[in-house]
A and B are shown apart, each in its own frame.
Chain A
Amino acid sequence: MGEGENLTFAYPSGGFTLRVPALSLAPGERLAIVGPSGSGKTTLLNLIAGILQPEACRIDVAGTDVTALSDADRRRFRARQVGFVFQNFALLDYLPARQNILYPYRISPGLRLNAEAHARAEALAKASGIGDKLDRHPGALSQGEQQRVAICRALVTEPKLVLSDEATGNLDPESKLRVLDLLFERAEDAGAGVLAVTHDHELLPRFDRVIDFAEFRVGQPV
């Protein structure tokens, strides 16, 4: 599904350097990354998604070496192969839920908004329990419903990898379990692997594998 070797990244301003000797994710696997704040968890997600470029290494996602792609190709690759779920949901307040789910099609040249995409968005929303709320704006949805919309947006393009950055961090204990289960179910339906950054140790038993960035920082392969 995905793997990286000798990942090294440093911000130009200095003060932080991330070094990962090896990282792999099997197809459909649910991998959690835990660790203290500032240990580079979000940076790792940005490197895998091709938002940041590592100094030297190879990152293979679904058979594509992300580091070898041009900027435009990385954007296209990200739109097609990677789904993002954010802690703050990152929904657009001026678009109704349906259009929020279809938002990647509005901004990426690699995706074509057609009837199939619309049908997929409807099916995802229905399966996520928000099928009757597609015409509501985010302001008219609960936090749990907003995160369901965000999950639908991450999966509507049928990506091979879903990157989740503290996706349940803003939810109450009951909702976060339901939303995480929903994310796993929908990703499994789509055949996508899930790489999730979390601080919440209660959720870790639900993952197939957990990487502690505290260990990871000592340079051991994971």
Chain B
Amino acid sequence: MNALYLAFAYLRYHWARSLVMVLVAALILFVPVATQILLSTSERTLTARADATPLILGTKGSQLDLTMAALYFSEERPDTVPMREVEAIWDSGFGTPIPVHTAFSSGGFRIVGTTLDYFDFRGLTFAQGRGLAVLGEAVLGANVAGALGKKPGDVMVSAPENLFDLDGVYPLEMPITGVLAPTNTADDDAIFVDIKTAWVIQGIGHGHADVVTASDVAAGLDVTANAAIVEYQRITPDNIESFHFHGAQDDYPATAVIVVPNDTRAGTILRGRYLDPDARTQLFEPSSVVQGLVDRIFRIKTLLDVVTAIIAIAALAAVGLAMFLGYRLRAGEIATAVKLGARRGMVFRLLAAETVTLLLLSGVIAAAGAAVVSSNAETWVGWLLALGA
């Protein structure tokens, strides 16, 4: 007890030095543990979402780009796949195709055009409001609603793609009907709309004021030539009937298609149909793509571990040196203690008590930090993955 009393008195009196040593030692303990927690959570999160997505259909090209776009709504823009491929999956009867259109954004968050099957497939639930019902509506992921301060009843406006593209993408105002419960996945950072709404943003579908038709002319109506047709930038109950699409729906684009086969056999048959090397499309398991990515990351992690270990050894040596020099500075105190009759080993016990106290405090701080990281790892990893998207 006396050794602990003296050790604590020494550390308290030299609080600045003690604080630095405690913090340095805590960091040495904390950093590898926190890195390990975050990396393993990242691996789990990445692979979990990929494992939960049986197959992805897309155009030939980078499977990683397709996976990142379809699963994490990243900025990658693989060549689009026509909707006839979706119909082909429906027609096969082997599974459910869920098209995903991720070309646009609003407020810095990705607009994901999809079908209602997506919400069932991901098991998404609503924290507020309701799901998509009519053209033009939007549902927000939990992080989007939090970051933008939006709620059901508010509106979102899609970001224009190019101000100088007169034939291109115009902003569309979309009423928000619901906010999803948080899932700590990329869904939290997405704005969901019906895929038809995404096509309206793209300019494939649109609504405008009535134009004069040939029958009107034949009926003898007074016709005045006018090039200024009012095109709607918001979809309302009054103008929704005027919205229409041009061209064949089979040609409409999707970024990728998530395919949920009815069973393993159906999945195998479906994959077999896309093995033709001349085909424009491919069907693959995203889990193997993500696993390859994770394996690569973790090979780099091994290098990171070595660097961390070297830095930790250097930092420990520095702390050890600081403690040794501290003890050297206290040689006079030690000599006095011996002269006053200190028991054999008392000096060692005193120094050991100080070291143990320092390490204990460092350990408590590091453990508290690790506990905070551990309890928030999924949220932070979701945020980090979204940052990279």
B343 touches A75 (CB 8 A): yes
- Which residue of B9, B12, B13, B336 has the most chain A CB atoms within 10 A of its CB atom? B336
Which residues does chain B contribute within 8 Å of A79, judged by CB atoms?
A: 340-341
B295 within 8 A of A: no
Flag whether B5 is at the interface (Cβ < 8 A): yes
CA A109 to CA B340, docked complex, whole Å: 12
Are A106 and B2 in contact, CB atoms less than 8 angstroms apart? yes
The answer to whether A72 and B343 touch across the interface, beta carbons within 8 angstroms, is: yes
- Interface pair B13/A99, CB less than 8 Å apart: no
When A and B form their complex, what is the total count of cross-chain residue pairs whose Cβ atoms lie within 8 Å?
A: 67
User: Which listed residue (B5, B14, B336, B341) contacts A78, Cβ 8 A?
Assistant: B341
**Residue among A51, A82, A92, A153 making CB contact with B333, cutoff 8 Å:** A92
Binary flags per residue of B1-30, CB closer than 8 Å to A gives 1, else 0: 010011001101110000000000000000
Contact of A123 with B by CB under 8 A: no
Which of chain A's residues have a CB closer than 8 A to the CB of B335? 90
Query: Known contacts being A90-B336, A92-B333, A94-B14, is A108 close to B9, with CB within 8 Å?
Result: no
Say whether A49 faces chain B, with CB atoms less than 8 Å apart: yes
Identity of the chain A residue whose Cβ is nearest the Cβ of B8 in the assembled complex: A94
- A108/B332 contact (C-beta < 8 A), A93-B13, A94-B14 known: no
Cross-chain contact B341 with A110 (CB below 8 angstroms): yes
Alpha-carbon distance between A107 and B2 when the two chains are bound, in angstroms: 7
Query: How many residues on the A side are at the interface (Cβ–Cβ under 8 A)?
Result: 32
- State the 9 A-B residue pairs at the shortest beta-carbon distance, nearest first: A79-B341, A94-B13, A78-B341, A107-B342, A90-B336, A106-B2, A108-B341, A94-B10, A75-B341
Told that A94-B12, A107-B337 touch, could you supply 6 new A-B pairs with CB distance under 8 A? A75-B342, A78-B339, A90-B336, A94-B9, A95-B13, A108-B342
* 29 residue pairs A–B, Cβ–Cβ below 8 Å: A49-B339, A51-B338, A71-B344, A75-B342, A75-B344, A77-B341, A78-B339, A78-B340, A79-B340, A82-B341, A84-B340, A86-B336, A88-B332, A90-B333, A94-B12, A95-B6, A103-B340, A105-B2, A106-B2, A106-B6, A107-B337, A107-B340, A107-B341, A107-B342, A107-B346, A107-B350, A108-B343, A113-B2, A153-B340
